[in-house]
Each structure stands twice: as structure tokens, then as C-alpha cells.
Structure 1
């Protein structure tokens, strides 16, 4: 039976100190002071325009991403969260995350973030090797990264570290060294993922000496073993956590939950009472946005597109996919995908159980091939 899924809130802060060569997220390099007050004013107006789409549902998580949200003053984050709570119902147990880079970490600022309601921090370390940090154009060194982590540990137990592998000239031992540093500081969550070069990034046109496929494969296998041995459970393709510290916000995405997206270039997915799923994309031009032009794109996902969108998310998770959730989240009967499921089983990508589908090792290894079955 169809029912409205849980809903989250994503807030995009577009400014950065420097645009990294591998980054394909939408961001502006801050060359002068950031118009924080004006941007927050328009974030709230953007939110107000989406309220009629959510049918009074309670927000279960908030994620403040970017860009570099920690460039904003603690007073700005405090005001933003305070004003959001006046406009929308936030669960008392909501996970509220803010992203930060080591260069912008200040003890007093982050202590005040926590006072404002932030209860989870995500630190973009990427690597603990100063030479590799230079190669991927980060603006801090190993010592600053370590200092940032030591400071955040004083403030909040629940924090994530972003770590990358497959960096230029990186060896397997370099990768394991990074992971050893990461687990030493006992984060509750580690996002560990391969550097990929996207077409719309500066690194795409730059010659980089990246490790070959065989080395990358060894890195993924040995790194995975190390993290599991160190007490971290792999619950998603690139996510590891201690017991009960999975990222609630991202779990909502991967379970095909709903989310409001506010701010420059933010994406949203909001299910309606009639079963329609609305996609929104906000204006990426900062000048247009702070002049009140928030919405760039809005459409209803077609029925034939829903199965692919659903499985693109849930097949990332390392757990069985409940059959009843497919209908609950898409408003489509299981019979609609009967032939595609049959094909996926025949190819050995999934196993069919009474109440769920289970992705096989082959299915996880060749996830793109599995998902192609659900293309129109």
C-alpha cells in the first residue's frame, strides 16, 4: 500500500575558499565577504514556497552542505535553524549535520553550531598526506587536518570523516595509512570513496597519474577489510559506520525518501498524497537567487522512470530490499516490474526471496549493469 515516505531538508551553501580540481558540486569561490544575511533571508523564503508540497510532514533530518557551510558565522547558522523551526515541524530526534573543511574550523564557532542545534559534523579531510593534499588542490596540510579533528572531538562525539582513495601517484600503503589515521580518532562514521574525474571539472582536462584499475581494486579490497576489522560496518557502497551511527539523512535518500532542497542548485524530491513524485531544482545563479528567483526546474517523475530512480538508490545499500517498500515509495504495483526483476535474477544480480530482493555480490560489483535492466 502506498504511503508518504519520511522527509528531510537539504540546505545548500554555495561558497568555498577555493574550487578543488575534482569537485563537480555547485559552488562559488568567495573573493570578498559573503552576503550571509541576505542569503539566509532568501533561503527561508525559498523554504516557504515549498511548504505547500509537504503536507505538514515532520522533518527527520537536516543536512547543511555545499560549498563550505562552515564559512558562515555561527550566528548565521543559529538564526537559520531558529527560523526554519518557526516555519516547519522538526523532529525532536532529528539528525542535523553540517559539512566543514579543516581550514575553516574554529573551536568557538563549532561550539556555537552545536548550541544552535547541530548534532553531527562532517569533515572533508580526503587524505592525511600533505603532498597528496597539494595534488588535489586542498587548502590545508596534514597537521591542520589532525588539529581540526582533535578540536571537533572535544565538541561532539558524532562526526564523519570524508576520505578518498585513488589519488594521483597514491599507493596501497598510502591508502591504508590514511585509514589508520582516520580510525585512530574514532569517528562514528567514515565516507570512503574513490576519486573520480567528472567531465565538468578542472581535473578532466589535466593529465593526472592516477592508479590503474588493478591497483584501485586492491585498494578497495584491502581498505574495506581494514575498516571492517577496525569496527566499522559497511552499510552503503562508500559508507562505513559504528553501530547505530549510520547517516540518517543519507539513509533517507537511499531508501527513496523525500527531501526538500533549498538554496542555489539544491535538488528536491517530494511525494504528493496522490502518489505523484515532484522533482525540483533551484536556481544556481546566486544573483538571481538573492533577487527572489528560486525555482529553476520542477516536474513530475513519469511512472516508467520511477523503478530506475528507486533502484538506483536502494541497490546502493548493503541490506535486503523489501518488496512492499517498492510499492509504498513509488505507488506502483510489483507486477509492473515483473519481467525486469526476472531478467535481473537470471543474470545473477539479485536473489528473489518471499518478502524481499537481495543483491548478490555480482550485482553489487556490476551495479551499473544491474541498473540498466530498469532503463526504459
Structure 2
């Protein structure tokens, strides 16, 4: 077992200045304030594993141990409390897997545990992922009553052939029905769509987007299908549109969403006014998050260090570890030399960039630590910066991986 380490300074009781810099260890950080804190809860089961998916998901062959898992999640939360004493939770995200496989009673119990153990902000955004094929109108009304105030629906496509090629368990009719149920019960929801699918044409991608827009979603996530390692598609790659066709689809998405009044605020995220995904924004702005459940990751800041954790990935291993007193499989502090890259890896996804003072606030490192890389990126036309903003250029957005890699220590 890896012991949970608690910072030497109690969060919320003493300011960083009160500690005295003379007591800091070499390489220690100096965060003047702690970032906002989010909660991520992982639900690891799916009806079937999709061939493109590299998330920590496991096929539920028959019944899955819902009660034992929720018991373990509560234990994981309880064991994590010393790391976040006194800090409020501003957003909650229940992801997977397919959390909408959870029973209405199970979700209600989970939300009750969260409210009992953690100080939730009164205006907290509470999102749950849901997949078509698991939608039941009555169950989703119960989810809403339990406190879920935002859905993220994994549509991927409204085309029956493309859904079959992606290995999805739903068809086009179930996709549309799921959006109708969401629309009837939630005023805030996201639709996930993918493009550059096997055999997909530009007109088919345009039709998928038009179908989604017809439901007036507050938020859209539009992802380019990629071949991730350790997936079925990586082993047996399908025939995908070429780079030119994919670029045409990307240009079409930018044009159509702009006309429809969506703000393209992150690489894959498009929102109506006031409907940005607050939970995801906290990731992209290098905020903190406590992750509980099988395979969940955490990033937790203290005045002089930033801690990363990962839980056991296999559901049964996670349940056993939580019952034994510690569900954490891996834990390390982010080295000072890596802070610039870690920060820029996230914030460069934001099309509008970030204010320069955010760098020091979230990393505890002066911004001159990335000055050389910024200058090189600026010289290549990948980055724009002035005293108010640092952001990727349009070229930098197109070659984001190359831009991010320039900040590796």
C-alpha cells in the first residue's frame, strides 16, 4: 500500500507567507492560492466495449456489483478527505464507462454520499455521462431529482451505418430518442459527436451536425476519431477519411457552429452563451480535481507541492483496495521542472488562451520559466502573447501537439 501523504501545512488555516520561504525544500513550489476543486467519480462498466475506446471501461457481463462498488467509492471518498479539508467542491462529473447503467436508487445513494461527505457549492455543476441504449425516461427523471443538473450524451453519430462501424449498442432512432428524453428533463446537456469516421463523407458529417443542432443543445463536443493504442481499431484499423477530407470536415464544423451561435472555446468544445462545461474548464485551466472510483486520477495542490494520484483500475481490485483502507495505486508529486509543460498541456487547448498571471497562480513557478519556449513558439507563428493574454494562434490550434511539445522540460 502507498500511504496518503498530507501536506505539512494545513490547507485553509495558514497562508503560504506564514510558513516562511526559508523553510521550503529546494524545488518546492510557492502557490499563493489554491485553485478551484472538482470531483470526478468513475463508473467502470459498459454494456459492450467500443473498438475505438481506450478509457477504463469493462463489459458488464450480466449483473455488476453496484452496491459493493458504491460502498467502495464512499470509502475512497472518506479516505481522501484529509487531502482536501476545508475546500469546497464546485463541479462534479460522473464518467465512465456508462454511468447511466446505474440504477436510479444507486445514483441517488451516490449523490447522498457526496453531499454528506463533501461541501458542495450551492451552484455546483453536476454532470453525468449517459449513452443511448441505456435511456429510460423514468430513470432519467429520477437522476434529475437526485441532483444531476447536466447530461453528457455519447451520441457519436446519427447515422445507423456509422454507429454499427463504431461498435455502438444503439441505432439512429435510439440516438434521437435519447436526446428527446434529455431535452424533456434537463435544460443543460452536451452531445458528443465524432467525425472522420470509417467511410464517412463530408455531407454525412454535415448531416450529423445538422441533426444535433436541430435539438438546440447548449453544448457540443466534436471529436476527430483517432486510433488509440491498445484498442481494437489500433490492431485492426478501419479505412478512414484522408487528411484532406478530415480537414474539410473540421472547416465545415467551424463554419456551421459559428453560424449557429456556438463559441468554439476549446479544441473539441462548442458552447452557447453561458453554457461552457465548467468541470472541463477547470481541467483546462489547471485546476484541482479529486478522482474517486476505479482508475480515477487526482490532481491536488498544496501551498508548496502538487500531488497526482491514480486508483486501481480493475473494479474488483479497486473494491478490495478501498476496503483495505487505500484505493491509491500510484502517487507522485509533479516535479518543479515539469510544471510548465503540465500547465501548458492543458491551457493551450483553450482557443482564447489564458491570462499570464494564471501561470504563477496555478504552478507556483514564475512565468519566466516558460519564456524561452514561448518565444520560440511565437517565432514559428504558433503562439500569440502580450501582457494580457497567451493563446495559440489558428496555426497553433491546427498543430497543437507540436506546440505543446515545445514546453517539455
Would you call these one fold, judging by a TM-score over 0.5? yes
Q: Provide the aligned C-alpha RMSD in A.
A: 1.1
Match of 2:159 in 1: 129
Match of 1:104 in 2: 134
Would the aligned equivalents of 1:47 and 1:262 in 2 still touch at CA under 8 Å? yes
Would the aligned equivalents of 2:340 and 2:369 in 1 still touch at CA under 8 Å? no
CA drift of 1:167 comes to 0.5
Q: What does the per-residue CA deviation read over 1:171-218, in whole Å, with 9 as the maximum and x for residues that have no partner?
A: 000000000100001111010111101111011111411000000000
Match of 1:300 in 2: 333
User: Runs of 4+ in structure 1 displaced over 3 angstroms?
Assistant: none
**TM-score normalised to structure 1 length:** 0.98
Provide the C-alpha distance between the structure 2 equivalents of 1:301 and 1:73, rounded to a whole number of angstroms: 38
The number of residues matched between the two structures is 375
CA drift of 1:292 comes to 2.8
Would the aligned equivalents of 2:350 and 2:391 in 1 still touch at CA under 8 Å? no
Would the aligned equivalents of 1:97 and 1:122 in 2 still touch at CA under 8 Å? yes
1:193-272 matches, cutoff 5 A = 193-272=223-302
Residue 159 (structure 1) aligned with residue 189 (structure 2): yes
Provide the C-alpha distance between the structure 1 equivalents of 2:340 and 2:189, rounded to a whole number of angstroms: 33
Q: What does the per-residue CA deviation read over 1:31-60, in whole Å, with 9 as the maximum and x for residues that have no partner?
A: 121211111111011111211112321000
Match of 1:67 in 2: 97
**Which blocks of at least 5 consecutive residues in structure 1 are unaligned?**
none
1:355–1:231: structure 2 CA closer, same or farther, 3 Å change rule? closer
CA drift of 1:114 comes to 0.6
Would the aligned equivalents of 1:101 and 1:125 in 2 still touch at CA under 8 Å? yes
Would the aligned equivalents of 2:262 and 2:272 in 1 still touch at CA under 8 Å? yes
Equivalent in 357, 361, 368 of residue 335 of structure 1: 368
**Which blocks of at least 5 consecutive residues in structure 2 are unaligned?**
1-30
- Residue 362 of structure 1 aligns to a residue whose secondary structure is helix
1:172-211 matches, cutoff 5 A = 172-211=202-241
Match of 2:404 in 1: 371
Provide the C-alpha distance between the structure 2 equivalents of 1:55 and 1:5, rounded to a whole number of angstroms: 14
CA drift of 1:250 comes to 0.2
Residue 355 (structure 1) aligned with residue 388 (structure 2): yes
Q: What does the per-residue CA deviation read over 1:295-327, in whole Å, with 9 as the maximum and x for residues that have no partner?
A: 110000001111111001111012132111000
- Residue 103 of structure 1 aligns to a residue whose secondary structure is coil
Residue 142 (structure 1) aligned with residue 189 (structure 2): no
Match of 1:285 in 2: 314
Provide the C-alpha distance between the structure 2 equivalents of 1:161 and 1:286, rounded to a whole number of angstroms: 27
Residue 49 (structure 1) aligned with residue 79 (structure 2): yes
Provide the C-alpha distance between the structure 2 equivalents of 1:54 and 1:356, rounded to a whole number of angstroms: 31
Would the aligned equivalents of 1:20 and 1:138 in 2 still touch at CA under 8 Å? yes
- Residue 53 of structure 2 aligns to a residue whose secondary structure is coil
Provide the C-alpha distance between the structure 1 equivalents of 2:44 and 2:198, rounded to a whole number of angstroms: 27
Would the aligned equivalents of 1:15 and 1:68 in 2 still touch at CA under 8 Å? yes
Deviates more, 1:129-138 or 1:316-325: 316-325
Provide the C-alpha distance between the structure 2 equivalents of 1:226 and 1:288, rounded to a whole number of angstroms: 46
CA drift of 1:352 comes to 2.4
